[in-house]
Amino acid sequence: MCGTDQKLIWNGGGKLVEKDFYSELSNIVSTEQIKKDELLARHTTFRIGGPADYFVTVTNAQEAAEVLKLCSDRKVPYFVIGNGSNLLVSDKGYRGVIIKFTEKLCSVWIEEQPGYLAARAGAGAALAQFAREVARQKGAGFEFAAGIPGSVGGAVYMNAGAYGGEIKDSLTRVRVMDRSGNIMEKEAAELELSYRSSRLSAKGWYVLEAEFQFEMGKADEILQKIEELSRRRSLKQPLEYPSAGSTFKRPEGSFAGKLIMEAGLAGLRVGGAQISTKHCGFIVNTGRASACDVMRLMHQVQKAVREKFEIDLEPEIRLLGEI
Ligand SMILES: Cc1cc2nc3c(=O)[nH]c(=O)nc-3n(C[C@H](O)[C@H](O)[C@H](O)COP(=O)(O)OP(=O)(O)OC[C@H]3O[C@@H](n4cnc5c(N)ncnc54)[C@H](O)[C@@H]3O)c2cc1C
């Protein structure tokens, strides 16, 4: 344990012992799609995280629904992962099943309609590539998304945003499945998207596909804006180090990075984790950071900012496993 009081997404203990579980799983997906004791550091942009008991890739909605139903029926903990770009995973890993969407669940469809551009993407699709494709097909207003290294599903879950834009602005509908594997269509409004937050988890829904509408613009101007935002990002953000993006949410009326800098914490280290000197809103992995290092550093930052400014910084990154 790191000795912190952060809430965990799942805080189970002990090794998965269900003997029949593997064979039931392999009745749904091929054995190549099931990895045992897969190191989650390979699946997070922080490059941190111990092994998951099972790491299962699902290629279509049917498989996704059946795996989810099996886990629910067998009471085996599970977690749907996107691109792992907003996650801090325990050094002890995850006792349960990590589910990752691939193949058909990564497809993208884009179609010009009278007066607007309609676009649909599988939850596993890379948000940045999707945003560039939208731009090439003259969809405007999604430029902010081209620099966010998440999946479409993770971006909807987080209501990802940057430079004044967010997913909420253009999302119209989603195809979701619930914990029993039922697949449903929902209006975007039902997700109650707000700043880096959605009601997906509260409702027990997982995104399979997301539909967007964009105003039409000029492809060259839109692509130029993407390049400009990308230049701004690489100038201001420590993209040369593994991280999970902004560590803390923006507190009302201020910026987490500014408060952390003004508290004199730039460059502060715990083990291999460091407050970036380029952008104090980021904790970076300088090489061999553990999840414990990151948690301890987050804790020190929260304490210092609370003492200096009486502001509580809320983590933006999601914690997974027993940290
Ligand atoms: C260098 C860097 C820059 C970043 N810049 C930004 C930025 O500008 N703006 C911003 O908002 N974020 C930013 N991020 C954070 C991150 O990229 C976003 O939060 C992104 O939306 C997370 O998507 P993901 O697929 O990686 O999700 P993950 O990190 O894999 O998961 C995040 C959460 O989403 C849930 N989730 C994933 N897929 C699904 C699904 N299909 N259905 C339901 N829930 C799902 C997971 O269960 C988890 O709770 C940045 C990160 C990095 C590393």
- Looking at per-residue pLDDT, the higher value among 5 and 316 belongs to 316
Q: Which tokens belong to 274?
A: 């460091």
The domain defined by 21-104 folds into 3.30.43
- Which atom of ligand 1 lies at the shortest distance from residue 196's CA? 11
Q: Give yes or no for residue 148 having a pLDDT over 70.
A: yes
86 in contact with ligand 1, CB cutoff 6 A: yes
Q: What is the pLDDT of residue 2?
A: 60
Instruction: Give the residue from 64, 42, 40 showing the smallest Cα distance to 52.
Output: 40
Domain coordinates of the chain in residue numbers?
21-104, 107-223, 239-320
Confidence of residue 90 (pLDDT cuts 50, 70, 90): very high
State the average pLDDT over residues 147-175.
98
Domain 239-320, CATH class in plain words: alpha beta
- Which atom of ligand 1 lies at the shortest distance from residue 160's CA? 11
**Mean pLDDT across the chain:** 94
200 in contact with ligand 1, CB cutoff 6 A: yes
Among 246, 250, 276, 318, the active-site one is 246
Q: Give yes or no for residue 239 having a pLDDT over 60.
A: yes
Instruction: Give the residue from 244, 258, 229, 260 showing the smallest Cα distance to 294.
Output: 244
Is it true that domain 107-223 has CATH number 3.30.465.10? yes
pLDDT in tens, 117-147: 999 999 999 999 999 999 999 999 999 999 9
> Is there a shared CATH topology between the 21-104 domain and the 239-320 domain?
no
Q: Give yes or no for residue 17 having a pLDDT over 50.
A: no
The strands making up 282-285's β-sheet, listed across from edge to edge, are 243-246, 282-285, 273-275, 269-270
